[in-house]
Structure 1
Amino acid sequence: MALQIQANTNDGLIKKLQDCGVIKHQIVANVMKETDRKHYNNLFIPYVDRLELIDANAYLAAPHMHAYALEKLVDFIKADSKVLDIGSGSGYMAACFARLIQVRAVETLKESTGYVVGVEPLLKLVEFSIENITADNPKLIESGLIKIMEGDGRKGFEDYGPFDVIYVGAAIPEIPTELLMQLSLNGRMLCPVGDTEGVQQMIQCDRDIAGEITKKVLTNVTFDPLVDPLDMQPTTESNDVNMSDGTNGIYRTRTRTTSSGINEPQFSFKDEI
């Protein structure tokens, strides 16, 4: 899907993505134009359609991949939507989701009551993303429209769910049951699933009003693997404890452990061709 697009401005980059058909909805183009990529990476030329390293353990996805995901999720985001951004990294997608919520509120003349929860296992990236979003527009953080949490993305953030949209911005071997449990009825999740050291499949999961989940394979993708917090710090025993003080915009959660005697609910999927 690499398009080798480059521009001198953010608007120019988005216009080229529109011209080649990656961006189809004008609302997606508008939101991406408003969310200038220069705030989310440290490159001299930030407007290139390619994967960019932002940390030893994380990448900023290529613009066409961000656009692709937004195109698949835009119809599920309303003025009151709750959005979960797993592996939120630079904070770019969280900002785009937040602006979609704001636009929907203006379109429908409704109060904007939705919010975006970003979950990132690396504290330095949590801080990096908050700095980026603040440089973009400090009100996105100050208003509570975006909340960034340090934690295990595979666990989601149950206290703020259920979520109308869940976006996983890093590769995982399989879809975590806990994320499916936090997906709202009539909600949608996008998740790159497969070999975390090779090519994955972008999986779309839709949950209908009856709770049945339909899974659809969209395309092949290559994402950096979702970091396991246990690989980044010494293992410690902990109970199920949430710490959500929101200091400096950062929300924290400890790893939740499940007793081997407790059976997690099992989901059956209906595959869509």
Structure 2
Amino acid sequence: MNAPGIGMTSQRTRQRMIDRLRQGGITNEQVLQAMNEVPRHVFVDEALAHRAYEDTALPIKFSQTISQPYIVARMTAEVMTHPHPEKILELGTGSGYQAAILSRLVPQVFSIERIDKLTRIARRRFINLGYQNIRCKTDDGYLGWPSEAPFDVIIITAAPPEPPLDLLDQLAPDGFMIVPVGGKARQTLQKISVGQKGPVFEDLGDVIFVPLLEGVER
């Protein structure tokens, strides 16, 4: 479902974003189609809607950000390297944009946000857009969602200081976790799977995310 474009949120403006993603090395056509379909301007504050399709992170409420489109596309493309990604867990709902992109590509998306007001805002956006295959709740992301496990992929959109390896127990066979790891000085995007001798780490490059915090804020 496409929200109507207005001014800087027009389809032509969205297409320029897609062209930039291609130039940046995003080649998965399914991912590009999802990025084109989901109206990013719906997920940013109205005052910043004219910047929604710039390739930049933007502030949202409660000192959080909506990730730049390139990072969303890159992480989504990594999700799609799974041979049959049917059930995804996202930690860090934020604006809801990443979950919305995933919902156009996989049957089931589960998303956890620690700030309850953000959860409520994101849920309303999903309802308004008709995205019915996303379930979100307010909880401590470090706990995962055991009652709905196993997941094919766990994607974390905030950075813990160390890899949350306990969450690997909530992965299905052949599953993996995509997570930015590190502090303010340096973070690396990691793809972590479970091998015969323990966790297997793949470094996907440097990134910048807000920190993954423990607890719940209501």
| Bin for the TM-score computed over the shorter chain | 0.7 to 0.9
> If the length of structure 2 is used for normalisation, what is the TM-score?
0.87
The answer to whether structure 1 residue 86 and structure 2 residue 86 are counterparts is: no
Aligned equivalents of 2:55, 2:189: Cα separation in 1: 19
The corresponding residue for 2:15 is: 11
Which residue of the other structure, out of 198, 223, 237, is the alignment partner of 2:185?
198
The corresponding residue for 2:207 is: 221
The letter of the residue matching 2:43 is Y
Deviations 1:24-60 (A, max 9, x none): 1111101111111011112231111111110133110
The corresponding residue for 1:100 is: 105
The answer to whether structure 1 residue 70 and structure 2 residue 70 are counterparts is: no
Aligned equivalents of 1:211, 1:89: Cα separation in 2: 35
Contact 1:175 1:191 in 2 (8 A): yes
How many residues are paired up? Answer: 206
Instruction: Return closer, same or farther for 1:77/1:63 CA change in 2, 3 Å cut-off.
Output: farther
Unaligned runs of 5+ in 1: 1-5, 102-113, 234-273
Aligned equivalents of 2:89, 2:63: Cα separation in 1: 21
The corresponding residue for 2:3 is: none
Aligned equivalents of 2:143, 2:197: Cα separation in 1: 20
Instruction: Return closer, same or farther for 1:127/1:77 CA change in 2, 3 Å cut-off.
Output: farther
Aligned equivalents of 1:171, 1:88: Cα separation in 2: 13
Unaligned runs of 5+ in 2: 1-8
Deviations 1:197-220 (A, max 9, x none): 232111111235x58431111101
The corresponding residue for 1:165 is: 153
> If the length of structure 1 is used for normalisation, what is the TM-score?
0.70
Which protein is bigger by CA-based radius of gyration? 1
The corresponding residue for 1:24 is: 27
The letter of the residue matching 2:101 is C
The letter of the residue matching 1:227 is L
The corresponding residue for 1:250 is: none
Aligned equivalents of 2:197, 2:174: Cα separation in 1: 8
